[in-house]
Structure 1
Amino acid sequence: MVFLLRSSSADTTAAVVTANNDDEDSDDEEIVDYDIPEDAVINIKPKAMKRLRELREKQKTDSLVLRMGVRNGGCSGLSYIMDFATEDDVQEDDAIDEYPGEKLKCVVDAKSMLYLYGLELDFSEELIGGGFKFFNPNAEDSCGCGSSFGV
């Protein structure tokens, strides 16, 4: 797997991932290419973006609003929240990372910004423990399941 980050002329960063299967029967190569907003709150990794594309297509919608946040609870004190929202649900004080080429907005409320700034959202297709993964540089503790953290 090769993961490259490069600067583009629009002061954004483009993420490109090339995945090669080592199976003899498969020479499939997959490219995920998108522009990352400058100073993004949430860094959406290529596998997560691919899964979000699939979910948007499955919902048969022109755009997707992904709301991310935190709430009290979980085994480490705070739990991650990730849900779909509508444009009407976006509040004035929300931080918004917009991916126009992907028709995606990632929205974070002001309170959660303190805990989520710099978070990396990834996706795993593993049979056990698969799904969206959160890598939070602000977390001092985190649980084994990866769905809660402490600061």
Structure 2
Amino acid sequence: MRFFLILFAFTISSIAFSQSPPAPSMPKANQEILIDELISVSNYKDALMNYSKVYLWGEQYKGGKRRYENEDINTVLGNFDFEAFKKSSIYNSFSFISERKLKNLIEFYKDNDGKIDTKNNTLFISASITHNLQYQLNAEIEKLKKN
């Protein structure tokens, strides 16, 4: 009986005092404007789609056999909701960059005609953006494979 009372007390106290995870970081209004401008002047969406295409091509033959077709890649990229991804992942990652540094990045891209390289394959990305993007792309491929 004593054991159950201790177990019950421990369970109740752990539930009562547990903390929920912190809310994701979101940019301030000024930062959001700068992030949107950076996305625009850097052709970020195009570069992200190039990255996604290369990622999916690499995943296509994982495990030594073809897992899905090129048409599946085109379908996933065609249905990609960049605006939703921007709000859930890009804003969160870029919210840690100061306004001054965001302005510097904007000027850098403006000075280079919006691209670092001619094919727009180089982009400014963080580990969390990469993880979220790969998770989303993999989930979409799995949905296609089930159908």
TM range, normalised to the smaller chain?
under 0.3
The structure that is helix-richer by fraction is 2
User: Larger relative CO (CA 8 A, sep 6+): 1 or 2?
Assistant: 2
TM (norm. structure 1) is: 0.24
TM (norm. structure 2) is: 0.24
The structure that is strand-richer by fraction is 1
